């Protein structure tokens, strides 16, 4: 394969404005997995725009049935890497669920999720939501507007059920964050009870992303938190209303990552660099010139081999707008961010946030010192690989020096309180102080014993 690629490069280099400098690849035929969500876009773009090929890589992209199948494929070696939930490499590395050392040299995106409720629940919520001068609901919508609805369900002897995509998904933690910020208990996990429903006001359960709308339409769940296009699909089908985006929940929050086993990155370091280079170029393409390429990206993603949803549904969020109620379309230019704001840099502080949420809800059962959070983050997130790939791109004239945080220590500046729905800021350097600031959730030496929090 290498000989074929080098011959093609030699014969076509003069016709191309820029060709990636060829690394000596240890492995050039790769298979990557993904779930049918719009934030898999960097993988599709790297393939369709020829960025993998420029690096000498022959890549196959393969949709996976669900997040567990995807993770098992990476761990078992059937997949060389995958579009992953950010919590998956962290959970696997600390041994929550399937144990394996997974790392990420590349973050896929910022934002991109929403929380949707059924039409019935929306009608019950609306009297509790302030209105703007034009009569439309005022955003962001607090979960406090949902609290009376849950109490009504309870008085009628009915559980209030909501879907999320995986126990260690951003969606699980974002849904819990929103509920807790509105004074609603989303439930705890323990070593003996991994349902996450201990002492819960709302019962959260796993539903694969593409099945969210139909599961809600069937009445099995009353709402859900998921990535696009499955919130917009509910609007398109007339079965539900998105009440908040994660951009409104926490401005420019981290979302998916690209995950590989530590063994892969150590055995194939140049291949890892080449993959990271291609993904960085794809992310740049997705955001360049004020999202000028998004319409073409929507065409790519709407194909059945990628996301396969209607083009109109995907375009609703990918092109800088978001539709809440039918006809209530608002400008949200940063709903999907793939490169701006250092979106692709794997910040340790992002990893620490996920770990704090695992601790907050009992998936990490015992208190840990701040140093533990830092050590785990550094064992999973690999900014050194990312920056090495970025340096190669800059040297080749394919990226700008100014676009990368060369001097970062891996931690973002603290998120200001004004950027978060509950008005609580976040500093990844002080995870235990952050947990202490949360009115609902485990803190200090607390633990879940049986059906209650002790300590």
CATH superfamily of 113-249: Periplasmic binding protein-like II (3.40.190.10)
The pLDDT value recorded for residue 12 is 40
All residues at 6 or more sequence positions from 309 whose CB lies less than 8 Å from its CB, including other chains: 36, 229, 230, 233, 301, 302
Question: Quick check: 109 and 336 in contact, CB under 8 A?
Answer: yes
The pLDDT value recorded for residue 19 is 54
Q: Of 3-12, 90-99, 422-431, where does mean pLDDT reach its minimum?
A: 3-12
Which candidate, 173, 187, 181, places its Cα nearest to that of 357?
A: 173
Distance between terminal CA atoms of the chain? 60
Plot region of 423 (φ>0 → left; ψ -120 to 50 → alpha; else → beta): left
Q: What is the pLDDT of residues 21-78, one digit of tens each?
A: 689 999 999 999 999 999 999 999 999 999 999 999 999 999 999 999 999 999 999 9
Give the count of beta carbons closer than 10 Å to the beta carbon of residue 432. Answer: 17
Q: What is the mean pLDDT of residues 265-289?
A: 98
The pLDDT value recorded for residue 181 is 98
Q: What is the pLDDT of residues 136-158, one digit of tens each?
A: 999 999 999 999 999 999 999 99
Where do the domains of the chain lie?
A: 2-111+254-403, 113-249
- pTM (2 d.p.): 0.95
For the cut 50, the answer to whether the pLDDT of residue 16 exceeds it is no
The pLDDT value recorded for residue 22 is 85
Please indicate whether the domains covering 2-111+254-403 and 113-249 agree at the CATH topology level.
Answer: yes
For the cut 70, the answer to whether the pLDDT of residue 322 exceeds it is yes
The pLDDT value recorded for residue 15 is 37
Mean pLDDT of the chain: 94
Q: What percent of the chain has pLDDT over 70?
A: 95
The pLDDT value recorded for residue 20 is 55
- DSSP code at position 401: G
372 SS3 class: helix
Q: What is the pLDDT of residues 115-128, one digit of tens each?
A: 999 999 999 999 99
Written out in words, the top-level CATH class of the domain with range 2-111+254-403 is alpha beta
């Amino acid at each position: 394969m290498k000989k074929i690629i080098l011959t093609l490069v030699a014969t076509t280099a003069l016709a191309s404005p820029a060709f990636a400098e060829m690394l000596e690849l240890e492995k050039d035929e790769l298979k990557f997995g993904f779930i049918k969500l719009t934030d898999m876009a960097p993988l599709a773009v790297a393939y369709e725009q020829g960025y993998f090929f420029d690096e000498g890589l022959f890549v196959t992209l393969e949709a996976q049935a669900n997040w567990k199948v995807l993770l098992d494929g990476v761990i078992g070696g059937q997949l060389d890497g995958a579009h992953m939930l950010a919590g998956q490499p962290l959970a696997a590395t600390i041994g929550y669920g399937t144990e394996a050392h997974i790392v990420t040299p590349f973050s896929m995106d910022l934002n991109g999720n929403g929380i949707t409720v059924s039409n019935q629940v929306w009608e019950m919520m609306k009297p509790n939501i302030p209105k703007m001068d034009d009569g439309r609901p005022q955003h962001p919508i607090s979960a406090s507007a949902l609290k009376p609805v849950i109490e009504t369900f309870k008085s009628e002897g009915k559980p209030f059920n909501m879907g999320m995509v995986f126990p260690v998904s951003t969606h699980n933690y974002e849904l819990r964050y929103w509920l807790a910020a509105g004074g609603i208990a989303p439930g705890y996990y323990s070593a003996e009870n991994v349902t996450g429903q201990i002492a819960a006001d709302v019962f959260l359960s796993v539903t694969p992303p593409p099945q969210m709308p139909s599961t809600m339409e069937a009445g099995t769940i009353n709402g859900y938190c998921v990535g696009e296009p499955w919130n917009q699909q509910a609007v398109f089908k007339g079965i539900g209303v998105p009440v908040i985006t994660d951009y409104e929940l926490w401005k420019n929050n981290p979302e998916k990552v690209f995950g590989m086993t530590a063994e892969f990155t150590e055995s194939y370091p140049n291949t890892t660099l080449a993959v990271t280079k291609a993904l960085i170029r794809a992310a740049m393409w997705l955001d360049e010139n004020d999202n000028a390429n998004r319409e073409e990206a929507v065409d790519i993603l709407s194909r059945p081999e990628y996301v396969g949803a209607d083009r109109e549904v995907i375009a609703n969020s990918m092109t800088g707008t978001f539709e809440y109620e039918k006809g209530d379309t608002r400008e949200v230019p940063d709903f999907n961010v793939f490169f701006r704001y250092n979106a692709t840099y794997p910040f340790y502080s992002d990893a620490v946030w996920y770990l704090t949420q695992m601790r907050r809800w009992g998936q990490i059962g015992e208190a840990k010192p701040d140093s533990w959070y830092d050590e785990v983050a550094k064992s999973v997130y690999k900014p050194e690989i990312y920056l090495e790939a970025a340096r190669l791109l800059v040297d080749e004239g394919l990226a700008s020096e100014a676009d990368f945080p060369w001097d970062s220590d891996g931690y973002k500046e603290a998120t200001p309180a004004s950027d978060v729905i509950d008005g609580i800021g976040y500093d990844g350097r002080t995870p235990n102080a952050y947990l202490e600031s949360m009115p609902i959730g485990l803190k200090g030496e607390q633990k879940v014993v049986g059906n209650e929090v002790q300590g």
